[in-house]
Structure 1
């Protein structure tokens, strides 16, 4: 930072400090009954950063954020950025084996957690020699804190109180400092995606243009000029342990907006009441797992006074056309946007519907980021309108590598045509007008009778069936077809689960109204509730276990799956 508190780089700590210095009295974050101004958040982050320095935490060290949505999560991230350490997102649903893998992969030197997670930390800490400290949030450390190997257990608030208040001075802070985000691990072990901060600022945080109105900034100094001079309140519904929530929180912080974090489990009525109370300007959901309960809550407990809301966004999972149509009817003055991207590619594209436009499918993106292409299996660009399927790729602002995974890095980050590309796991086609039509993850693609079926495409159609509240589609082994398309279904309230054969026949007929016959489910398993990540992402491993457990009802079998 220079004498005028203007950022000299795209370092995330530099950018944050430049904003907090200019609007210290402005409210920065709300979570439950806790509120912080920019100045207060900066002050507490400085205390925590100095505590970390006193404990020997420094550049390149990994610090675990094993926390639900909380202001302490943001304080920990900012403190790490300030001292060039690396905050690591940890899924609070992980069991001991998953935690041990992630703690060791860094390896972590410190972890911040609430008291209720301390026993989980204690179960894995003795096997992680690098772990020196466990900071416990809340009023204090439990009196009978479990043993955590050689790691000290320290109260978070006591640590902040004892640490110096001044802004830490750390040499070498700049564009090349690291930002790491671990993938969700829904189809395998989580992987740490390593970004340079400059690349993350432009690739993940929109380069200072969260509304996509002015284009990316041309210099760090210009970011300061874009600090808004009016009330703007963003509501983050997804957990900060996922990339999307971190990115939107940071991009709005750098504009001087207020960020509201959803506290605790997802409560759709409380979401609407929070939008009312905090006069929320824009919010983002993750697919039908969040959007459909919101629509149901509006019908049962609404309407709500949400005239402040002018933009409603979806990302991370598809939104059924019927769900979007319901929300657009409830919120007639809102702009509706869908976005796509990943931890490895950053934000890659979007689509937008103005008030009054008709809801359409959510997997077609007509605004695609520069550097985004679709490559076939021979690394050739898919021609618009050809119908060919390929993998979505991105060049330009891309990550450096996967952490501690050289083979996966070589497979994912490749040189094509003299440029470095990240090849995502998402499959797509390109429409004649250049729009990208997203099909789904290649890793969960179903191969049935030689035909490829992408679960998300089938799920988006089945979610519009009146008996279906939520659904995950997977392939189960079949001796003749290789795999059989199976729908794991959570029924809509009031639907009798008694006759699954009739339900399956109805779902097949419904699917064939929009899809080729081979994509329709050939069996169905009814469950009480679909398991998803806290951010709403489908758990395909769980769904395969359910579908293969023998509880699924099959359709009448034939010699091969119908082709159309």
Structure 2
């Protein structure tokens, strides 16, 4: 049987449980029926402006759809935009709301949005950037508390929905319709990953049986959703995969999606208060950037989180000590670490406070350094983490070269290699070393920044740490740590060097430790290496060479 698509499934669940809560946010609550009706009106607006799917693509890096840009903070309009686009057979894509004009223009030149759904606070930048595009997109402006007036030529979102017919479109969404997820661009320019919505749902969004086989029967999927009673609190921004996948994956299981009050960053007190008030059962988090403030808030205050069952951590690691403290506060909560990428979905998982290795998900492999064969368990070679199986993206939008380099064939099987280095241990678990793009070659030795960062973040007095390389006459490149200390803490360089020496080979120990009061994380919790490099570039102190 063919795979299911988001629009058809949401519509069927809305018919089965129309009055159940679907989305909760500080400004209100919407039922499944109400979300279905509003997203249907948005689909009508898009359709009547000529947007949809036109023909079919002939290459894996091509899209046959018109594209809808979602330039929004978290909220119900973001989810309505995703769903409404699929109902009109328009491919939605995410926009990083931190981009400045040139970055946004580059993204839009690549993505070619036929329509842009944006919050009013972004009206000025949209007004400037659209003048640089070859074609004028449909502009839909969502009111917010910024006080910005309606951009000339734009439609007010609520007015446009109110004027649209509530009648369903005579359009049949398909599991082969595309959903575009732009990568964050932390290792280069952002790339649009082309997922078929059916593959996305049966893969990363979890519309599958326990054995991993996809749920293809609509009645079975609706019955499963109708039984579901999860309430998923979305703290990470929807403009990144961790947030979007958690929200849409919740919907696939019939969950209510809950948003906290703050949408432009993390407020741990607000997040936990929302979790308590809404009886949240599941919450995605992003590494120490989320876990550490949550632990500190749990140290200060008392919250009834008895309904919470799962913390799903992705995109960044949680330091072992932080995880132990977290589980001390929440002994009945399971912390699931998942590692993957926009291109692979979830590749490996682990549980527990001190686990260092991951269990491979179905389809996961570790390839040899030359990417020509699968490594056997116990081989010492440091290889590449790869993901195979039927549920993979097609490629990168408009980029045949990167598509060919990332989506490869090994022994006739199509695999995606996103860039993580790994070793396959004798017991079948996977030891992940980090992204090749953040590897530092110092004195002929390869050092994975993430390994050093994990050690640093676990040292007393360190709130966060990133590791980068800088030119060195002696080493070619030397390792430099940029650290943010905890309030009231002042660990010395010797303290940090000694702490590293207990767990790292000498060549991996940073040659310098630079302090900063700036945040070292992007809004999605991922490492902001640009911020760390800026601190290093601004450093003018003489660094004493450490003897190896």
Q: Do both share a fold (TM > 0.5)? A: yes
Residue 350 of structure 1 pairs with residue 344 of structure 2: no
- Tell me how far 1:141 sits from its aligned partner: 11
Residue matched to 2:49: 55
CA distance in structure 1 between the partners assigned to 2:2 and 2:368 by the alignment: 41
CA distance in structure 2 between the partners assigned to 1:140 and 1:247 by the alignment: 27
CA distance in structure 1 between the partners assigned to 2:312 and 2:530 by the alignment: 27
Residue matched to 1:409: 403
Residue matched to 1:326: 325
- Where in structure 2 are the equivalents of 1:154-553 lying within 5 Å? 154-171=155-172, 173-208=173-208, 213=210, 215-221=212-218, 222-229=220-227, 231-262=229-260, 263-264=262-263, 265-300=265-300, 302-353=301-352, 359-361=353-355, 363-366=356-359, 368-379=360-371, 380-396=373-389, 397-496=391-490, 503-551=492-540
RMSD: 1.9
Is 23-32 or 545-554 further displaced after alignment? Answer: 545-554
Residue 320 to residue 123, structure 1, CA distance change in 2 (3 Å): same
CA distance in structure 2 between the partners assigned to 1:455 and 1:220 by the alignment: 45
Residue 107 of structure 1 pairs with residue 150 of structure 2: no
Q: TM-score, normalised by structure 2?
A: 0.93
Residue matched to 2:58: none
Partner SS state of residue 248, structure 1 = helix
CA distance in structure 2 between the partners assigned to 1:478 and 1:341 by the alignment: 33
- Tell me how far 1:47 sits from its aligned partner: 0.7
Residue 273 to residue 383, structure 1, CA distance change in 2 (3 Å): same
Is 442-451 or 370-379 further displaced after alignment? Answer: 370-379
Structure 1 contact 472–530 (Cα < 8 Å) conserved: no
Structure 2 contact 141–150 (Cα < 8 Å) conserved: no
Structure 2 contact 205–252 (Cα < 8 Å) conserved: no
Residue matched to 1:128: 133
Deviations 1:334-371 (A, max 9, x none): 11211111000011121123xxxxx204x5212x2221
Is 376-385 or 30-39 further displaced after alignment? Answer: 376-385
- Tell me how far 1:132 sits from its aligned partner: 2.5
What is the aligned length?
A: 532
Residue matched to 1:499: none
Is 198-207 or 99-108 further displaced after alignment? Answer: 198-207
Residue 382 to residue 18, structure 1, CA distance change in 2 (3 Å): same
- Where in structure 2 are the equivalents of 1:145-160 lying within 5 Å? 145-146=150-151, 152-160=153-161
Partner SS state of residue 16, structure 1 = helix
- Tell me how far 1:270 sits from its aligned partner: 0.9
Structure 2 contact 377–428 (Cα < 8 Å) conserved: yes
Partner SS state of residue 376, structure 2 = coil
- Tell me how far 1:333 sits from its aligned partner: 1.1
CA distance in structure 1 between the partners assigned to 2:215 and 2:80 by the alignment: 28
Partner SS state of residue 159, structure 1 = helix
CA distance in structure 1 between the partners assigned to 2:26 and 2:147 by the alignment: 23
CA distance in structure 2 between the partners assigned to 1:139 and 1:341 by the alignment: 34
- Tell me how far 1:130 sits from its aligned partner: 2.4
Structure 2 contact 386–416 (Cα < 8 Å) conserved: yes
- Tell me how far 1:191 sits from its aligned partner: 0.3
Partner SS state of residue 273, structure 1 = helix
Partner SS state of residue 227, structure 1 = helix
- Tell me how far 1:412 sits from its aligned partner: 0.8
CA distance in structure 1 between the partners assigned to 2:148 and 2:524 by the alignment: 33
Is 303-312 or 221-230 further displaced after alignment? Answer: 221-230
- Structure 1 unaligned residues grouped into runs of 5+: 1-6, 354-358, 497-501
- Structure 2 unaligned residues grouped into runs of 5+: 54-64
Is 64-73 or 262-271 further displaced after alignment? Answer: 262-271
- Tell me how far 1:208 sits from its aligned partner: 3.6
Partner SS state of residue 248, structure 2 = helix
Deviations 1:82-111 (A, max 9, x none): 011011100000010110011111201110
Residue 436 to residue 139, structure 1, CA distance change in 2 (3 Å): closer
Residue 338 to residue 144, structure 1, CA distance change in 2 (3 Å): closer
CA distance in structure 1 between the partners assigned to 2:438 and 2:415 by the alignment: 22
Q: TM-score, normalised by structure 1?
A: 0.91
Structure 2 contact 284–312 (Cα < 8 Å) conserved: yes
CA distance in structure 1 between the partners assigned to 2:457 and 2:144 by the alignment: 44
